Amino acid sequence: MTYEAIMKSLENKEWNSIYFLMGDEGYFIDKITNFIAQNVLTEAEKSFNQTIVYGKDTTTADVIMMAKRFPMMSKNQVIIVKEAQNLKKIEDLIYYAEKPLTSTILVINYKYKTLDKRTKAYKLLDSHYILFESKKLYDNKVPDWIKQYLKDKNFTIGPHESQLLTDNLGNELSKISNELDKILISKKTGDNKITLEDIELNIGISKDFNTFELNKAMGQKNFFKANQIIDYFGKNQKEHPIVLTISALFQFFSKVLLYYFVPNKNDKSEVAKILGVSPYFLDDYVSASQKYNKAKVVKIISILREFDARSKGVENQSASPADLLKEMIFKILH
């Protein structure tokens, strides 16, 4: 089942006996778990019928024993196992899953790991219960997620702003949601649009000096702006480590290179889909392809690989990150 389908069933109070929540994206796992913890039982029922344990502090046998208990003065009991990836012999849960207690709702948080799909346990959980794999979103899907997250809270955000957040916060949804909530708390009643100023004031991402603006400046061959940003990055390595700057440029110019090989460049929506970018930003890549020929872009990617290695100490004894950034930008732009 998808995350949306699971949440809809929970909102409709359609409880299942076992929820096995696994995968790399902890955000969705936590949202499902928290909903169950907050909504299955009343506050009075939770005292006797809701148990939360951690994988490193318990055993699979203990979990099975807890799940087999009957609830006290309640229709259900809820057992939540957090950090279940630390449970030894977790596959032994199959002995409980073969004949679970219908009054128990067992929630297993198996973060950062997945069950082997070839096992009997996986097949049983998948066919009879809620088995959910929480996957990391691809970077190009994060801006839309941000937009939907805010829409659900009656706020709006523009494509520039959502891309800026994605470029600087990555695809860790828990981190992004926490930062967005900081902004929402600061907003005045009736002010429902998230702006660049909101992002800079509450999260600390400069609206003028960031990887988004650097990519744009490099794509336009704006020497002055690119060097301004690089100078700022060099002086603020804690917030803008060189490895992330190189990664952002590598992703940008890799997409510029891919643009050369798109067969039908007249269909903007199709081109954006192939590049994995929003159509709103497609002109940035088109502009860059006009400023740099194909051979130069290949050379730029080679330069970025060279400086990635040098930033990690390869053939570099004394150059600081600030010096490396300036030399790298010079080589790319000339």
Q: Alpha-carbon distance 167 to 207, whole Å? A: 12
| Chain-centre distance for alpha carbon 44 | 36
Whether residues 159 and 250 fall in one domain: no
**Domain end call among 156, 182, 203:** 203
Instruction: Convert the pLDDT of each residue in 274-299 to its tens digit.
Output: 998 888 899 999 999 999 999 999 99
Percent of the chain with pLDDT over 90: 85
316 has pLDDT over 80: no
Whether residues 95 and 152 fall in one domain: no
Q: Alpha-carbon distance 162 to 139, whole Å? A: 11
Q: CA angle 44-46-51, nearest 5°?
A: 165
Whether residues 103 and 177 fall in one domain: no
Whether residues 174 and 230 fall in one domain: no
CATH number at residue 45: 3.40.50.300
Whether residues 324 and 227 fall in one domain: yes
Whether residues 126 and 58 fall in one domain: yes
Instruction: Convert the pLDDT of each residue in 61-81 to its tens digit.
Output: 999 999 999 999 999 999 999
Q: Alpha-carbon distance 6 to 206, whole Å? A: 38
**Domain end call among 81, 114, 133:** 133
| Residue pointed to by tokens 């002055």 | 224
**Domain end call among 185, 203, 221:** 203
Q: What is the chain's length? A: 334
Whether residues 182 and 243 fall in one domain: no
User: Model-level pTM?
Assistant: 0.80
317 has pLDDT over 80: no
- What's the total number of domains in the chain? 3
Whether residues 113 and 146 fall in one domain: no
Domain enclosing residue 260, as ranges? 211-333
Instruction: Convert the pLDDT of each residue in 151-200 to its tens digit.
Output: 999 999 999 999 999 988 889 999 999 999 999 999 998 899 999 999 99
Whether residues 13 and 128 fall in one domain: yes
Q: Sign of dihedral through CA atoms 218, 222, 223, 227?
A: negative
Percent of the chain with pLDDT over 70: 100
Both tokens of residue 165? 């957040």
CATH number at residue 320: 1.20.272.10
CATH number at residue 144: 1.10.8.60
Whether residues 90 and 159 fall in one domain: no
Whether residues 179 and 75 fall in one domain: no
